[in-house]
Amino acid sequence: MGIWILNGLTVDANNVQTKKHVLVENDKIAQVLDASNGEVPQTAGHEVIDAAGKLVSPGFIDMHVHLREPGFEHKENIATGTRSAARGGFTTIACMPNTRPVIDTVDTVNYILDKAATEGVVRVIPYGTITKNELGRELTDFAALKEAGVIGYTDDGVGVQSAQMMKDAMALAASLGMPIIAHCEDDTLVVGAPVNEGTFATKHGLKGIPNESEAIHVGRDVLLAEATGVHYHVCHVSTEQSVRLIRHAKQFGIKVTAEVCPHHLLLSEEDIPGMDANWKMNPPLRTPRDVQAVIEGLEDGTIDIIVTDHAPHTEEEKAKGMMLAPFGILGFETAFSLLYTKFVLTGKWTLGFLVDRMTKKPADVFGLPYGTLEVGSVADITIVDLDTTKAVLKEEIVSRSKNTPFIGWELQGWPVVTIASGKIVWS
Ligand code: DOR
Ligand code: ZN
Ligand code: ZN
């Protein structure tokens, strides 16, 4: 028995919208019929989902998430994190290696993959670290990690401080045909700062994280990427300077790609209501000018994809306040509705643009066979109710943690059914 999804709205990157019937059988998309042409599906013996008036999208792909397992299961684990992802419409997620132990050995990669297979509800693809223990001192065994199934190398959570170390990592990754994914942060420019260097920091007498601490690494690394030929991917771009450097590098033909998070597209330091650590993340909320620059970067293709940087921390941890609480906010469960409400419904973006940057584009950037509704492809499908408006409620959050600044926001466009590898994992 398969699942027929009837009369849903599909959309492509050019925002061409077509009404379709989609048949899921086993773990594959078995048939797609054009409903506007009056093609009639043979539904006998199949489960039927009426998707009339709803968006039927390829399952969303999030290439930057923190699942916290192993080591920080009090914040999140693979079971809770993948369910939170499913609620947000994500069917493929790439998890960052800043766990404990960090993902720097084949054993830890295997642990993640085994846990994901037995306890996860969506596809989990791990990154391995660039350096052992993310200490920046010694490269990991890239070839062995690749063999074990990582999709790239990153020390996310910290920047690789040594240019020589980064260059060696890029050369090795390039020789294996693998990407380097960079959390860009120069430690000599950020000492104990919890927020952006700007108006909020000044008002509250805090040290600030300057834009250059990110952009200096971007500038250094695009030159190293040029020298080594590696595919270099920039994490969570937050500054105008980074956008400018990436744009320039792309014009030069350097193999660089980049990502941006919903919070950096939507919020600036001026929105932070007070000393509430649910507004603390790294990179921090920047100035309105930076927000405008990352929006333009995404719009003109300088920034390729949208990721959440889903970073759960417990309420106790966040209650330590702006100075002491850890960096990071949740991402999965509000990503689509935030961007749909604030960019699509306001006429700034087409629906096709938003969906493309959360599905096909990330698949293309990382060479994944997902993000498509083509017949024969894996049945990863997200059905979205584009009409219902409702508030973000803390009680409804599926993640083990609740650290988001978006509680109470009235948003429209909510994933209602998520199908991963042909199985309904959220409805
Ligand atoms: O906000 C962040 N949270 N930024 C990072 O770089 C790390 C992440 C985390 O692991 O919590
Ligand atoms: Zn990071
Ligand atoms: Zn991260």
Atom of ligand 1 nearest to the CA of 280: 1
User: What is residue 38's predicted lDDT score, i.e. its pLDDT?
Assistant: 85
CATH of 3-56+377-426, one of 3.40.50.1010, 3.40.1410.10, 1.20.120.140, 2.30.40.10: 2.30.40.10
* H or E element in which residue 139 lies: none
> Is 303's C-beta closer than 6 angstroms to any atom of ligand 1?
no
- Token duo for residue 248: 């320039």
309 catalytically annotated: yes
Atom of ligand 1 nearest to the CA of 329: 1
Name the residue ranges covered by the structural domains of the chain: 3-56+377-426, 60-366
More confident position, 38 or 255: 255
> What is the CA(185)–ligand 2 centre distance, in A?
9
> Is 328's C-beta closer than 6 angstroms to any atom of ligand 1?
yes
182-191, 200-209, 231-240, 413-422: least confident range: 182-191
Indicate which residue's Cα is closest to atom 5 of ligand 1.
Answer: 157
Average pLDDT over residues 190-211: 94
What top-level class would CATH report for the domain 60-366?
Answer: alpha beta
> Is 327's C-beta closer than 6 angstroms to any atom of ligand 1?
yes
Task: Out of 72, 160, 281, 307, give the residue to mutate to test ligand 1, the one with the largest number of ligand atoms within 8 Å of its CB.
Answer: 281
Average pLDDT over residues 354-379: 98
pLDDT bin (cut points 50, 70, 90) of residue 99 is: very high
> Is 66's C-beta closer than 6 angstroms to any atom of ligand 1?
yes
User: What is residue 192's predicted lDDT score, i.e. its pLDDT?
Assistant: 82
Decide if pLDDT at 394 tops 80. Answer: yes
Pairing of strands 410-420, 423-426: antiparallel
Indicate which residue's Cα is closest to atom 1 of ligand 1.
Answer: 328
Whether residue 236 is annotated as binding a ligand: the answer is yes
> What is the CA(300)–ligand 1 centre distance, in A?
27
User: Strand (E) positions, 197-350?
Assistant: 208-209, 232-234, 256-260, 305-306
pLDDT single digits (tens) 297-326: 999 999 999 999 999 999 999 999 999 999
> Is 314's C-beta closer than 6 angstroms to any atom of ligand 1?
no
Decide if pLDDT at 39 tops 90. Answer: no
Atom of ligand 1 nearest to the CA of 185: 6
CB neighbours of residue 396 within 10 Å: 10
Interior/surface letters 77-93, b for 16+ CB within 10 angstroms, e for the rest: bbbbbbbbbbbbbbbbb
User: What is residue 191's predicted lDDT score, i.e. its pLDDT?
Assistant: 74
> Is 167's C-beta closer than 6 angstroms to any atom of ligand 1?
no
pLDDT bin (cut points 50, 70, 90) of residue 403 is: very high
Domain 3-56+377-426 matches domain 60-366 at the CATH topology level: no
First vs last Cα of the chain: how many Å apart?
Answer: 19
User: What is residue 36's predicted lDDT score, i.e. its pLDDT?
Assistant: 87
Whether residue 7 is annotated as binding a ligand: the answer is no
> What is the CA(186)–ligand 2 centre distance, in A?
12
Average pLDDT over residues 136-153: 98
Geometric angle at alpha carbon 187, from 256 and 154, rounded to 5°? 40
